[in-house]
Structure 1
Amino acid sequence: MTDHSAGAIATSPPPGGEDQSPAAGGALSGIEDAVNGVFTPISEAVAGFVFAEVTVVGVEFPWIVAWLVVAATVFTIYFGFIQVRGFRLATRIARGHYTRDDEPGEISHFQALSSAVSGTVGLGNIAGVGVAVTVGGAGATFWMIVAGLLGMCTKFVECTLGVKYREVHADGTVSGGPMHYLRKGVAERVPGAGGRVLGRALAVLAAAMILFFGVAGGNMFQANQTFAQLQSVTGGDEGFLGGDGAALIFGIVLAAVVGAVIFGGITAIGRVTSRLVPSMAILYIGACLMVIGVNLPAVPGAIAQIVSGAFTPEGVAGGAIGALIVGFQRAAFSNEAGLGSAPIAHSAVRTEHPITEGYVALLEPFIDTVVICTMTALTIVIAATPFWRDAQATAFASGGDITPDGVLVTSDAFATVLPWFPYALAVAVVLFAVSTIITWGYYGQKAWTYLFGRNAFSERVYQTVFCLFIVIGSVLTLGSVLDFADAVLFLLALFNIVGLYLLAPVVKRELIAYREKLRTGEVREVEKVG
């Protein structure tokens, strides 16, 4: 997912800009200036509200982070720590042990999980963790893990609702997500015409926000950063990707690859992501394990730093509270728990019991935050202490004016053992970006068809526009558009979590009913592997 913090990974200038002809460069610059001129005041107003900061013990942080973390804590208590008690059952459901092939839906539990994970695992897991460790110290990792564990319950709630209120069409395809459970669920829970009006209004707003982020943050930003990383490792402006038109050609190729997948719908997306997500996870975690293995004697000390730094950090603004806030912020921005995006993918699952996908969905923040983000943080703490300590000193000496380069900190950690890591990082970024673009292409399509109607022509129009914006994102850096996209996605969390509070009793009933069916044998385990 896009990393929602300044400086986590700098949005690159128009790729290849220095090698473009003056006329081409001037034309691109003019387009950017015109678009940014329109969006800047809107972006500043919305982002100023969504990411407005409050101060706790001298540490400033966005209120939206507290909104997400408090909800995750409330749901964890309300559902009796379901992410712990139900973890083993969740893994068995994800492997297909409790689902028959003839149940309604389009994709398996594992494909739904991999599709949703592909939308969250991204640059935030690389750059964002580097920023967290630098600004919040090693102890931020501890709180990042805590926030990830809490977020598992939020995903459990929203993805259960995604399946509960989904629409299964005559052709067997499925539509789900916050626009459906907010419209139907709020109308059920709030009596009278007011509930129906409120539900419809929230649903339209949710669809509009998801659509905009899908085209901009989940698409253009990923394409831009992918080209920038590839250009960097191939010689920069002097390399073969530094020439005039390279960004355009790259954008067209990337659009063709993504288009070949998203035109096939969620079944094609599920097939691709079920292979792509494990591949990129193995690649990245394998690199982490190589660095950790070489520095194995330092592992106990690094773990001690992470635990002790969570409560008595040194050199961290705000002390333990500062480490906690930074860790919570990075986790919230990484795993999307509470934003309402993941239920769109999870809603397509084959199941008769909505709660089963709630169980599977709780694995998502565990994979994204507890596993991948923690592996990154542990690698940095073990192998790059001088680098992140120096970056931390520079950031604090500037009074907060200089934000550390998270990618550089992470890359330096790997380079201590793997000198060729920048090339592996480039491959990882490409895999992360392509999987994110594919998943957000599907999310945006479901939002589009909710707003403009579901038919073949409407879907093809959206898919064509989406692929066109991949090309645009490769060539242009529309900073204010991307800032606005981030803001509207997190604004969705404000409405979505209100809906989750209202509908939590519905999820509780689903949970009790499913447990009873397991107890009585009405739901039996199906012997299968995969």
Structure 2
Amino acid sequence: MSLESITNSIDESVSDFFEPVADAVADVVFYTVPVGGTELPLIVAWLVIAGLIFTVGFGLVQVRKFKLAFDTVRGKYDEEGSVGEVSHFQALTAAVSGTVGLGNIAGVAVAVSIGGPGATFWMILCGLLGMATKFVEVTLGVKYRVEHEDGTVSGGPMHYLPRGLAERFGSGGAKLGKVLAVLASIMILFFGLFGGNLLQANQSYAQIASTVGGEDGFMASSAGAILFGLVVAALVGLVLLGGIRSIASVTSRLVPAMAGMYIVACLVVILANVTAVPDAIQTVFDGAFQADGVTGGVIGALIVGFQRAAFSNEAGLGSAPIAHSAVRTKHPASEGLVALLEPFIDTVVICTMTALTIIIADPASWADARAGESIGGVTITSDAFATVLPWFPHVLTVAVLLFAFSTILTWGYYGLKAWSYLFGKSRTSELTFKALWSLFVVAGSLLSLDSLISLADSALFLLSVFNIIGLYLLAPVVKRELDSFMDFVRSRKARAAVGGGDPEDEREAVKVV
């Protein structure tokens, strides 16, 4: 029996076993109600409503504190002796690497082709609302993080749900928090293994196999898949062994590079069609409010835009606080402000650039969707770039590899923290997880596991149910932390204004000398 037949047999067996489970869970998690001639997934509404409530409750924090967030990323308000493992910038890039990924390339194409150009408007709006949700959950992640004897820290919903609810509501809150924390850890672990690992490895291998050597080339064979998986697994394993410091060191270089490369490519296509930009923007607004030609009309465009944005930036799911909790800071809200930049980068900037590129360069893609034709996601994006950059499929391959690698690393860290919460933080336990994680990378290059990915997506969005309940209950804590950080910022500015300098800056100057 050939290697191909063995892997195909395994793939079919796993899919047959999990398919009914995946379908049943997805029917519950993504339960829809009819709205305006289309179907609205209630889980998407749950995420969007949370963003709206936190936006109003914190007084448009994503707008009023946007500049302060950038100043904090640059280290303007760093303090000597802060607990943590990485800088604000490194924590941001580590978290962004888990959200910016293949969904920004293929997912946006799906949104535009199904919901029309108007979906872009609603996608941007959802991203802006998600900034407030991300601020709340990351502030809590840093506030209730656990400091270990070896100097490392752990954060995320598995920590702020039990600790925060116990602090606010006593023993009853502690019990509720413990249940929510265990469920959240299981969901993070499950999605991490299959969605953050297998799917990334599988899609990146598929892209490289299609562009290197063709269908009959070595890379398209099972041997090529195994070689690809082993190389990526070895690289992932080496980085994971170094912990969050190693991950942050890689992502702080990789994420800006890959995002910059992708944005530049988008700009090249857009500038090459610069005369079409005004009409494209007008098309987006017209489609957002007069989308008669797409599935579901205006409501359909709204739902698709919200859904793709929610999938893309993960605001409210509780995953990003795990990475952000490793930051060096004495003020939890400082990292909460840094984190609100994450949906802005992921959805408002990168997803919008992708959408404009598709709308301007390849209008036939979403026009065909109106006619009911079946269109693939990544092929639309690739074809749009190819109208100006015929060699872009090769560049896209590099981008896909970088996106996938950084996502595997970040979700490996997320999964490790969930694993440690459930099974203990011993060296043996952590090494076991890292070994399993690396093995899954190899398997990902061989198998498709469509039904497992569907189940993993369901697990990911179940996180939002457990997590956002806690966010609502702990919102007053976030308000106090924001007030505390703003007092610190005003105090530092006041000292600088009177010419007294900053004691922290003076100590840093002495250390440098």
Q: Which residue among 53, 72, 76 is the counterpart of 1:74?
A: 53
Partner of 2:137: 158
Q: Which residue among 393, 410, 415 is the counterpart of 2:386?
A: 415
Shift of 1:301: 1.1
Q: 1:523 to 1:460 in 2, by over 3 A?
A: farther
What is the CA deviation profile of residues 436-476 of structure 1, one whole-angstrom value per residue up to 9, with x for unaligned ones? 00000000000011111112111111100000000011111
Q: Which residue among 477, 483, 493 is the counterpart of 2:464?
A: 493
1:515 aligns with 2:503: no
CA contact (8 A) 1:216 1:482 kept: yes
Please, what is the CA RMSD of the aligned residues? 1.5
Partner of 1:438: 409
Shift of 1:389: 1.0
What is the CA deviation profile of residues 3-60 of structure 1, one whole-angstrom value per residue up to 9, with x for unaligned ones? xxxxxxxxxxxxxxxxxxx432332233223322332232222111111212110111
TM superposition score normalised by structure 1: 0.92
Shift of 1:101: 4.3
Q: Distance in 1 between matches of 2:321 and 2:364?
A: 41
Partner of 1:133: 112
The structure with the greater share of residues assigned to helix is: 2
Partner of 1:469: 440
Matches within 5 A, 1:18-417: 22-191=1-170, 193-395=171-373, 402=374, 404-417=375-388
How many pairs does the alignment contain? 499
Q: What is the one-letter code of the residue matched to 2:164?
A: G
Partner of 1:458: 429
What is the CA deviation profile of residues 123-158 of structure 1, one whole-angstrom value per residue up to 9, with x for unaligned ones? 110111111111111111111111000000000000
Q: Distance in 1 between matches of 2:360 and 2:494?
A: 47
What is the CA deviation profile of residues 69-107 of structure 1, one whole-angstrom value per residue up to 9, with x for unaligned ones? 000000000000000000000001011110124210000
Partner of 2:449: 478
Partner of 1:18: none
* Structure 2 counterpart SS, 1:60: strand
CA contact (8 A) 1:133 1:141 kept: yes
CA contact (8 A) 1:101 1:350 kept: no
Partner of 1:9: none
Which shows bigger deviation, 476-485 or 445-454?
476-485
Shift of 1:520: 3.2
* Structure 1 counterpart SS, 2:33: strand
* Structure 1 counterpart SS, 2:220: coil
Shift of 1:159: 0.2
Q: Distance in 2 between matches of 1:169 and 1:204?
A: 20
Q: What is the one-letter code of the residue matched to 2:281?
A: I
* Structure 1 counterpart SS, 2:367: helix
CA contact (8 A) 1:517 1:523 kept: no
Q: Distance in 2 between matches of 1:515 and 1:237?
A: 58
Q: Distance in 1 between matches of 2:290 and 2:27?
A: 32
Q: Distance in 2 between matches of 1:426 and 1:522?
A: 47
Q: Distance in 1 between matches of 2:15 and 2:300?
A: 34
Q: Distance in 2 between matches of 1:230 and 1:409?
A: 17
Shift of 1:317: 2.4
* Structure 2 counterpart SS, 1:140: helix
Q: Distance in 2 between matches of 1:26 and 1:414?
A: 36
CA contact (8 A) 1:39 1:481 kept: yes
Partner of 1:17: none
* Structure 2 counterpart SS, 1:80: coil
Q: Distance in 2 between matches of 1:392 and 1:310?
A: 15
CA contact (8 A) 2:79 2:330 kept: no
Q: Distance in 1 between matches of 2:22 and 2:305?
A: 26
* Structure 2 counterpart SS, 1:237: coil
Shift of 1:240: 2.9
Partner of 2:400: 429
Q: What is the one-letter code of the residue matched to 1:312?
A: Q
Q: Which runs of 5+ in 1 are unaligned?
A: 1-21, 396-401
1:503 aligns with 2:474: yes
* Structure 2 counterpart SS, 1:521: helix
* Structure 1 counterpart SS, 2:253: helix
* Structure 2 counterpart SS, 1:54: strand
Q: What is the one-letter code of the residue matched to 2:14?
A: V
CA contact (8 A) 2:84 2:329 kept: yes
TM superposition score normalised by structure 2: 0.95
Partner of 1:7: none
Q: 1:100 to 1:513 in 2, by over 3 A?
A: closer
